[in-house]
Amino acid sequence: MMIISDGQELVIRDCFKAQSFNIEMFGGGIDPLIMVDHFRMTGPTFPVHPHAGLSAVTYVFPESKGAHMNYDSLHDPISIEPGDIHWFASCSGAVHTEQPRIEGKEVHALQIFVNLPIGMKRQQAYASHVVASDIPLYSDLNGSVRVVAGDYKELASPLKTPTPFTLLDCHGVEGVNQSFPMKLNWNYFLYSVSGSIEASLPGLNLDRAAVTLGPGQSLGFAGWETSKDGISLVVKSSENSHFVLLGGLGLREPYHLGGPIVMESAEANDERFRAYRNGEFGQVKGI
């Protein structure tokens, strides 16, 4: 199944604008992804808030004008510089907030919520951070691919993710194809940041040969059951383009959406919210 979504525009005052997508827009088919926001932020927008049961991931595009500050209950503040990725695995619970390091200097980034397996939802929270210079770049005549998480071709990101996950930040050349091998039992999310792209899966008998995505549009690939040899997603850029491909091994477990907390049931969500109100998630440091 392939589902195209325009997402939902989210605007908060004059300092935050995002194209927002969530798992329900794809009928659950982008599991383990819960939410993806492509955002631009120029000032503090969100107060300190809790997370549990998921990873809150921030990837700042290399071309971002500004850096993003992460404040949480796990460690001292961290500046997420252009090109960096910060992976905040909230597990049993932690609090955080993020905002531009310099107010008025626009941060251009992705905010991604990735579900955690039930067996990890009650472990201790932790965070991982990889700086831009440590993220490998694949480049050829067809374009370039930053391997922010996971692997591509012979390159692998140093980022250690809780479950198998890929984040590729790609630039394509007009009229040229780029090929991305799909993995067994993984689900994928393709998003056009800028430019127009055409996506196809040659070798699969689908109801449509290819789909075209313009800026701000996404495509969810729901639960491919491919052979172990895999198939490839082919992306053709009809103009010089910028797109991201996210994918992860489907968890296929029950989950309950509770805003910043995603546990396996409504009752488990309520229990974690009570723990937060009781101060068990800790206090943000350095803000």
Q: Which domains does the chain have, with CATH numbers?
A: 2-249 (2.60.120.10)
Going from the C-alpha of 268 to that of each of 48, 85, 118, 119, the distances in angstroms are: 22, 29, 11, 13
pLDDT averages per 10-residue partition of the chain, 287 residues = 91 96 94 97 95 98 97 95 98 97 96 98 97 97 96 97 98 95 91 95 67 95 58 90 96 95 98 97 89
In the sheet with 94-100, reading across from the earlier edge strand, the strands are 49-51, 94-100, 68-72, 78-80
pLDDT of residue 227: 47
pLDDT of residue 212: 93
**Residue 62 CB burial class (10 angstroms; 0-12, 13-18, ≥19):** middle
Distance CA 178, CA 200 (A): 11
pTM of the complete model: 0.95
List of residues 6+ apart from 70 with CB closer than 8 A:
58, 77, 78, 79, 80, 86, 88, 96, 98
Distance CA 34, CA 205 (A): 28
Distance CA 105, CA 206 (A): 44
Phi, psi of 137 (to 5 degrees): -125, 125
Amino acid at 136: P
pLDDT of residue 279: 96
